[in-house]
Amino acid sequence: MSSALARRIELLNKRFENAAPLEILRGSIGEEFPGKVALVSSFGTESAALLHLIAQIDRNTPVVFLDTGKLFGETKKYRDQLIDLFGLTAVTSVQPDTAALAARDARGILWTQNPDACCALRKVEPLNRALAPYDAWFTGRKAFQAATRAALPLFEIENNRIKINPIVRWTKADIDAYFTDHDLPHHPLEADGYLSIGCMPCTSRVEPGEDARAGRWRGSDKVECGIHLPMGQAPARAEP
């Protein structure tokens, strides 16, 4: 990280230290990164809150959706529902490179052999291509979600691009209250026990008392897809 970029991150965190999410989003979209910031959304169980906030500021804000080829059909239907409900005009569905899939996961079962490599192929690499035009991007991560996210800042740097976590300080109660106050629809699988939803083969129901992300990559040490990793840790790459 360059000293100039490090200084900018420091100033951004200081400027928005006590700001509400709507103020963080408005300042980032209209002042700090005009035309150069996108939201990356999974259209998962809590995504409607951040998408609704974005829509209040600018419905033309770019939104990147990673269509891995392994998603639940309900997630795609929920995506379409929220696009229509919020009037979002710039949602782009990004897919893995077809040549890369043919070379590295021709049978579509890489997830059974090397889930890190599968995530790299189907999520990390497509996202890197999709974010190329942007200087910054919004995530929906919250500190309460996992121990690995407890110390997340509002603004951070990754791959020389600024990553913004505008609702990082929200609690689960805050999310639930926002859904209730704004009458937001829930992901159709949430009522069936899916509290954190990714690709179908690697997502399971969460039992009462479990962490919301316990159903992701159940039975393994994997806790992140590779889009979000601890500082200094490089994402996995699928072997040819």
pLDDT value of residue 210: 81
Q: What is the pLDDT of residue 208?
A: 85
Angle, alpha carbons 124-167-187 (nearest 5°): 70
pLDDT higher than threshold 60 for residue 231: no
The model's pLDDT over 178-202, given as tens digits with 9 standing for 90+, comes to 999 999 999 999 999 998 899 999 9
Which secondary-structure segment (H or E) carries 137?
Answer: strand 136-138
pLDDT for the residue 150: 61
Dist. CA 185–CA 86, nearest whole Å: 11
Domain ranges of the chain: 3-193
* 237 confidence band (pLDDT: 50, 70, 90): very low
Residue pLDDT, tens place only, 116-133: 999 999 999 999 999 999
The yes-or-no answer on residue 118 being catalytic is: no
pLDDT band with cut points at 50, 70 and 90 for residue 211: confident
Domain 3-193 has CATH 3.30.465.10: no
At 233, the pLDDT band (50, 70, 90 cuts) reads very low
Catalytic position from the list 118, 119, 199, 225: 225
Structure confidence by residue, pLDDT tens digits, 71-127: 999 999 999 999 999 999 999 999 999 999 999 999 999 999 999 999 999 999 999
228 in the Ramachandran plot: left (φ > 0), alpha (ψ -120 to 50) or beta?
A: beta
Query: What pLDDT, on the 0 to 100 scale, is given for residue 225?
Result: 74
Distance CA 26, CA 222 (A): 34
Distance CA 207, CA 194 (A): 9
- pLDDT score, position 145: 63
Distance CA 193, CA 20 (A): 30
Q: Considering only CA atoms, which of 101, 100, 99 is closest in space to residue 70? A: 101
pLDDT of 146 reads 59
